[in-house]
Structure 1
Amino acid sequence: MSRELQLRIVSAIVLIVVVLAATWFGGLAFKAVAAAIGLLIYYEWSTITRLAEGSLRANAFGWLSMALISLNMLFGQADMTVPLFAGLVITMAIPSMLGRVSWWQAGGLFYAGLSAISLSAIRGEDSLGFIAMLFVFVVVWATDILAYFVGRAVGGPKLAPRISPGKTWSGAIGGTVAGVAGGLLVAMTHFQDIGLWVGLVALALSVASQIGDLFESFIKRRFGVKDSSKLIPGHGGVMDRVDGLVFACFAAFFLAIAGSAGSAHTVVSMGAFLFGL
């Protein structure tokens, strides 16, 4: 076994143990993991897009914004997180519209901030949030693993050759089927009655996770980098590992917001919304 493969295995085990333990405990432990992911994503985004070479003031504001979002998630009022995030992103978007700073600046704040917020919102504070987070994990992991193996075994037309030449339509379809099956399995092990809604949610999250993978590939190809960073031994960067996960969380987060309009559900009860309870 090569040293690189050993590093990949050890790093993967450590990451899985840390993430699953934080997911189990929830509360401050999971919020800390979510905040760390958001901050590291912003660091990698800033590095890839070379934000430090642009406006120093805008870059400092971006880091300050991420710090404020993280601190509010950890110690502030939960109902203030989304308004704070929206206000900071809009504040950054205004000079972008005026051409004073790059759109990559506002984009990085949106991407990294929403990554942390959506992860934290899905886990929530109760046992239902734990199941919901497992549901998202399994959908994303099953999609990613089966897309790789089905794509290699079946081959066929490329999904997006200009962005990610290795991905195929067969892999995308195989991954989606696996993601839906995995999500339904998680739901069936915890609830007696599940409806079509759960399968549709799993389908949406599976597709979103693959879009997230392609999005990160586009960013790296746009700026000519292979890995988002070298933070994870044998794996590259945090963005390389969570690209599909955060897009799936985005999809769940916005679905819950849309579904909460005119209903009893709120973003805080995302688990109930995802499972149609």
Structure 2
Amino acid sequence: MTKGAGRSNLQQRVLSAILLVAVVLALTWAGGFWYRILCAGIAGAVLYEWTAMASPRDATAHRIVLWGLLAVVLAMLLAGVPAVTLHIALVVAVIVGAAHAAYGQREFWPVAGVAYAGLSAISLAALRSDDAAGLAATLFLFAIVWATDILAYFVGRAIGGPKLAPSISPGKTWSGAIGGTIAGIVAGGTVALYAGIVWGVLATAALALILSIVSQIGDLFESSLKRRFGTKDSSGLIPGHGGVMDRVDGLVAAAFMLFVIGAAASGLDAPANALFGR
């Protein structure tokens, strides 16, 4: 790649990132139905990319079945159905998808995409809910994941050193992972401070640490998935960035972890209240 082409690609990445962040933050701030549209859009794009990678070209009928099953779950999510019911619907969708795969003697990887996409949407939507605690929880999550991703990239490029997981993602380094984790902790602590969430420094840092690490694990998981199916990007939907999965892999993993932690403390339908309620 020439220097001019590299500069052009970087500009494209930056412009795409700014636009995406603006849209995501606007819909997050609006909350309610508008935010649920964002969650459903992410899940739909994720399943589209997942099945494009994992399904053979002659499996069009199976892909349509899987898209239809997820569409039912997402329609319920848009209607504001409680998280408990959404999880039950997702389990049913996965079971039906698995039965269809078995009947057609298909692999189960595409069906796993329904679970991955559905859990992503449900976790993100349930965390945001429609109150101040949900907004604080979501901004806390975004700050950690975005700071981790950005600083891991730049610190890794600047310092280099031993590879984090060379067989999965040769470009990632331990220096980048550590730098990203530190940035995630700082970013999460900053949002918690401005949101008026006072757990204590150690508790805030511990939660941010967990989410930062999980987001990087989610990134590695998606890299391993692409390597398994022999593709560089999950798609070309986002100029300069690849696919939606390439951008949300860490986010959806961290969102699910925060959802699990919050749900254990205050229930499936109010996972943000125990940690972010005042």
Please give the TM-score of this superposition, normalised by the length of structure 1.
0.90
Is the aligned partner of 1:199 residue 2:202? no
Is the aligned partner of 1:67 residue 2:59? no
Offset from partner CA, 1:24-49 (integer Å, 9 cap, x none): 00001000010000000000011111
Q: Is the 8 A contact 2:123 2:255 kept in 1?
A: yes
In structure 1, the residue corresponding to 2:170 is in which secondary structure? strand
Aligned counterpart, 1:272: 273
Q: Is the 8 A contact 1:163 1:221 kept in 2?
A: yes
- Listed as ranges, the gaps of 5+ residues in structure 1 are none
In structure 1, the residue corresponding to 2:231 is in which secondary structure? coil
Aligned counterpart, 1:155: 160
Inter-partner Cα distance in structure 2 for 1:173 and 1:98: 46
Aligned counterpart, 1:214: 220
Inter-partner Cα distance in structure 2 for 1:192 and 1:256: 15
How far 1:84 sits from its partner (Å)? 0.7
Change in 2 beyond 3 A, CA 1:58/1:227: same
Q: Is the 8 A contact 1:197 1:275 kept in 2?
A: no
Aligned counterpart, 2:109: 104
1:53-202 equivalences in 2 (<5 Å):
53-54=58-59, 56-79=60-83, 80-94=85-99, 100-191=105-196, 193-195=198-200, 196-202=202-208
Identity across the alignment (%): 49
How far 1:130 sits from its partner (Å)? 0.9
In structure 2, the residue corresponding to 1:269 is in which secondary structure? coil
The letter of the residue matching 1:266 is G
Aligned counterpart, 1:230: 236
Q: Is the 8 A contact 1:252 1:274 kept in 2?
A: no
Please give the TM-score of this superposition, normalised by the length of structure 2.
0.90
How far 1:65 sits from its partner (Å)? 1.1
In structure 2, the residue corresponding to 1:159 is in which secondary structure? strand
Larger CA deviation: 142-151 vs 130-139: 142-151
Q: Is the 8 A contact 1:51 1:59 kept in 2?
A: no
Return the match for 1:23 from 4, 7, 28: 28
Query: CA RMSD, aligned part only?
Result: 2.1
Inter-partner Cα distance in structure 1 for 2:102 and 2:130: 38
The letter of the residue matching 2:76 is N
The letter of the residue matching 1:171 is G
How far 1:98 sits from its partner (Å)? 8.5
How far 1:267 sits from its partner (Å)? 2.4
Q: Is the 8 A contact 1:51 1:105 kept in 2?
A: no
Q: Is the 8 A contact 1:118 1:249 kept in 2?
A: yes
Moved >6 Å (runs of 4+) = none
Offset from partner CA, 1:228-264 (integer Å, 9 cap, x none): 111112221101111111111111122223x24xxxx
Offset from partner CA, 1:173-204 (integer Å, 9 cap, x none): 12111111211111111226223333222111
Inter-partner Cα distance in structure 1 for 2:136 and 2:197: 14
Larger CA deviation: 109-118 vs 45-54: 45-54
Offset from partner CA, 1:124-183 (integer Å, 9 cap, x none): 111211111110000001111111222222222111001111111121112111111211
